[in-house]
């Protein structure tokens, strides 16, 4: 399997991302391989838990291979790009609905698609190396891979803050925010995996026994600011609130939000508002798939990936460039359901 190492260890299945040169960015082949193995292990009574981590020392997962998605749109009709998201979202749903405990070790870079395969897991381990973010707004996409559901359930508008700013959180902040369930020193990870494989029924107890007290979560000091400034589901209101605050923090976050694609930001706010009311994760994935199929063919996506990953000038030219020019009619078209034959469906096991 390209980019995946799958093996059994005692009473657990162990999956490691192994595409280190690309910071383990997910490809369609990797997503399908992970889903296939998880489906096999779901029926295998000898596998009582699943460990999901990365090989090497370059971080857990930097996201999806968006450069390949861009090529599929710029050089073709986007078929390969849609196929990637179909496979990725099926993997996200499979992890969310998995009947056996899944333990994800978010050691190092955990961004985009890496977040998507982390948050559905029952146990999510952060370390002093964790670097967590959903930076899709910088490339003309939106926080996807289930973030419309998981971010919507974070308290005090934290999900909206993360979606609009692309803020990078460390392990302590992930634990404070509820994005991680446990915080371990990276030196204890091998012991944790060995003990979980030997006694999967004690997974939660083992992680608790090996947990350490993290440093103070820096983000906690701005919790009140986040709740106040990101209270609205209107992008214009959030920008105005930040602009009216002459504090250093508000100025920094105003710059971060203003730099992101306006259409992406409005899509994110509507998606999280919907996601807070959505009870079915499969319904969430179907909704996100319809949105992503439209977002990847918009000029903003090709332009965003160009600015960040191709030319690396970090000077995207968004269209529309102003939030007030992103109309409700434009958003309605992006959020419209796909024709029945094109809709996302869960993987058939």
Active site amino acids: 64, 113, 136, 144
Question: What length is written for the chain?
Answer: 349
Characterize the bridge pairing of strands 169-170 and 131-133.
Answer: antiparallel
* Beta-carbon contacts of residue 96 (< 8 Å; ≥ 6 apart): 120, 146, 281
Asked if residue 326 lies in contact with residue 123, where contact means CB atoms within 8 angstroms, the answer is: no
């Amino acid at each position: 399997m390209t980019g995946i190492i799958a093996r059994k260890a005692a009473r657990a299945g162990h999956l490691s991302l192994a595409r280190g040169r690309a910071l383990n960015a997910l490809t369609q082949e990797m997503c399908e391989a992970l889903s296939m193995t998880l489906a096999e292990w779901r029926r295998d009574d000898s596998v009582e838990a699943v460990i999901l981590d990365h090989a090497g020392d370059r971080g857990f997962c930097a996201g999806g291979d968006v450069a390949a998605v861009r090529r599929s749109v710029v050089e073709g009709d986007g078929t390969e790009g849609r196929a990637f998201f179909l496979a990725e979202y099926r993997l996200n749903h499979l992890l969310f609905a998995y009947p056996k405990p899944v333990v994800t070790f978010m050691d190092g870079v955990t961004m985009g698609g890496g977040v998507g395969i982390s948050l559905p897991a029952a146990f999510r381990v952060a370390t002093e190396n964790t670097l967590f973010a959903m930076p899709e707004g910088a490339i003309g996409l939106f926080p996807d891979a289930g973030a419309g559901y998981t971010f919507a359930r974070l308290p005090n508008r934290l999900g909206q803050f993360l979606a609009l700013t692309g803020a990078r959180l460390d392990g302590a902040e992930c634990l404070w925010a509820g994005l991680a369930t446990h915080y371990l020193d990276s030196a204890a990870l091998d012991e944790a995996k060995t003990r979980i494989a030997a006694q999967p029924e004690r997974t939660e107890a083992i992680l608790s026994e090996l947990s350490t007290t993290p440093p103070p979560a820096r983000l906690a000091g701005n919790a009140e600011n986040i709740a106040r400034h990101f209270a609205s589901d209107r992008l214009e209101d959030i920008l105005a609130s930040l602009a009216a605050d002459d504090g250093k923090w508000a100025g920094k976050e105003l710059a971060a939000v203003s730099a992101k694609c306006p259409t992406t930001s409005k899509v994110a706010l509507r998606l999280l508002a919907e996601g807070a009311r959505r009870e079915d994760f499969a319904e969430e994935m179907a909704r996100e798939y319809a949105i992503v199929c439209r977002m990847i063919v918009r000029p903003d996506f090709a332009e965003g990936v160009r600015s960040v990953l191709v030319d690396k000038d970090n000077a995207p030219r968004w269209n529309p460039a102003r939030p007030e020019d992103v109309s409700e009619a434009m958003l309605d078209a992006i959020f419209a359901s796909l024709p029945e034959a094109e809709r996302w469906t869960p993987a058939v096991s």
